[in-house]
Amino acid sequence: MSTDHASLANCIRALAIDAVEAARSGHPGAPMGMADAVTVLARNHLKFDATAPEWADRDRLVLSNGHASMLLYALLHLVGVENVTLETLRNFRQIGSPAAGHPEFGHLPGVETTTGPLGQGFAAAVGMALAERMLRARFGESMVDHHTYVLVGDGCLQEGIGQEALSLAGHLGLGKLIVLYDDNGITIDGDTRVSFSEDVPARFAACGWHVAECDGHDPEALDAAITAARANTDQPSMVAMKTTIGFGAPTKAGTAAAHGAPLGSDEAAAAKQALGWEAEPFTIPDALAAAWQAIGARGAGARAAWQTRIDAAPAEQRREFQRCMAGELPAAFTQAVQAARDALLAAPQTVATRKASQMALDALADSLPELVGGSADLTGSNLTRVPAVEPLFTRESPGRYIGYGVREFAMAAAMNGMGNHGGIIPYGGTFLVFSDYARNAIRLAALMRLGTIFVMTHDSIGLGEDGPTHQPVEHLAALRAIPGLNVYRPADAMETLECWELAIRHRHAPSLLALSRQATPQLRQGENGMNLCERGAYILRRYGSGDDLTLLATGTEVALAVEAADTLNAEHGLGVRVISMPCWEHFEAQPADYRSAVLGDAPRLAVEAAGKFGWTRYVETEDDVIGMTGFGASGPGPALYGHFGITAAAIAERARTRLGL
């Protein structure tokens, strides 16, 4: 049997048809249309060893149009990646199968990132290219020198995040990023002319990209375009491939009918006949299987040469590279944390928690050269930039601080891509209210169990005069609803340091720090040798010998609860405990006896300058929550707290009413 290009590409098409038919669900059209491009890429360009799919210096291949997942699964199976078996493909989209409907990071070797919502794979690939550039500058080309390829469709470029990603990558000149654009002219609603008519190559070119256009079914043209893209190292490159969705299907090719549903048994059989494919379902003829296995082994020599260079590198450099890629923290980090704690105990600080965050970063970043920061055009407000993460990343110099511009969504997704790549601990800042823009990437970080750190300042009505459009009310509840996301709202400088320590240590869960604009006193001024925030909630103060009332609070409102408790004890002799709850997620993970011991049996009130939703897991009704019942208002922050009744006096009065005093 011939092992020419067409026959190799048809292996991908046949497996995609078979898996979608077996699942009675899926998207056969895009894999059939992009099979030629992926075959050329794998056969001639991709630096990848199927026997070591997690090799650190491999090229990254991201399928941003993740509905075409069978394209990636078929490729991984054909090149011989272990565990991507025919049985895996037969169970495509079934419960318990690692071959999920959209590629899921961590489910199968070779899946570089989770790509469900369109465009996020593109932005994650930008993050991977950023990581490659920074690590190459730090460790040298002998250790780090690879490309990032990303397959995108029309939907990825219609989504706003697609524009954010291509604009950022062009501005930063990420020359090792190559986009293969599947220009098939079809979306779910039919021909793209329904909603999409711009000149896409011109759009990329306007943003500083090298652009090529070719027939997506011509292997020679594809090879030439990718070769030119690889040679252009000063700009990211986009290859616009004109393809036919459902290539080979007699009646459905080139139509929306090939997009999101099985071809059907008759059309599937006719498509195979048109392609000259005679093998049984889920069967690859021996000669073609061997040819694909040889493609999968093509990178073995490059990997062996890389390993030789790693072994020959100076021992300290080699160990540091291996430590970073393994996600292990240096011993100096623990020492830096302790020194920062000692400094706060020696000189307690009354500062905004956003300022306390900057202080923590200043204390810790020197010990973590893999820590990479940034902000979505709010550096002076988020306070995310410290000397240790200088200089700014530019196209000429890949520094440790990235100016993402007003691109919150792309920032969050690019940080996820850095985490997918490895060797980098990314953090980036914006206002908490703009977590709405970044929310889907925050959700994917949790889904992928990535240690991305989201720094969200201006966390309440305390931001003041910018008004209700910028004052987050429902955001804490919405973020706490995301499974696997650790939401930290520290009360003071010491808690902020502890939350930063936890965010850095938790490499398999994302963290979000909600930080204040307004100053708050340092309530923790004694040392017990423990990171109390790790428990999620703890007894901060106890007044009196009895147990009459419990006040629960987060963030800057903890200081108000302490003031109210002091008043209630002084005026009524009440036994009051004040519970600081910097992280509900950590608290819920504690043993039941610890949670019971902290909360106690007394009546409880909760205080948080945000919506009340969610607090009834800890108090009886929302009447027991001192918080917001609607949106905020424009005015000075302290005045707004008084206007909305979130004050120590209001807490004390509510307590008297609750206790019948």
The phi and psi torsions of 356 (rounded to 5 degrees) equal -60, -35
The phi and psi torsions of 160 (rounded to 5 degrees) equal -60, -35
Q: Which residues pair with 576 in a beta bridge?
A: 543, 549
The phi and psi torsions of 105 (rounded to 5 degrees) equal -60, 130
194, HSE (Cβ side, Cα atoms, 13 Å): 12
Distance CA 205, CA 185 (A): 20
55, HSE (Cβ side, Cα atoms, 13 Å): 25
- Helices 300-312, 315-326: axis angle to 10 degrees equals 130
Q: Which amino acid is at 129?
A: A
The phi and psi torsions of 410 (rounded to 5 degrees) equal -65, -35
Q: Which of 112, 267, 408, 608 is catalytic?
A: 408
111, HSE (Cβ side, Cα atoms, 13 Å): 28
Distance CA 68, CA 550 (A): 53
How are beta strands 576-580 and 538-543 bridged, if at all? antiparallel
Distance CA 231, CA 94 (A): 42
| 316 catalytically annotated | no
Q: Which residues pair with 577 in a beta bridge?
A: 542, 550
Q: Which two tokens stand for residue 440?
A: 């889907």
State whether the Cα torsion 258-262-263-269 is positive or negative: positive
SS3 for 42?
A: helix
Q: Which of 515, 460, 506 lies closest to 486, judged by CA?
A: 506
User: Is residue 362 exposed (0-12), middle (13-18) or buried (19+ Cβ within 10 Å)?
Assistant: middle
Residues annotated as part of the active site = 408
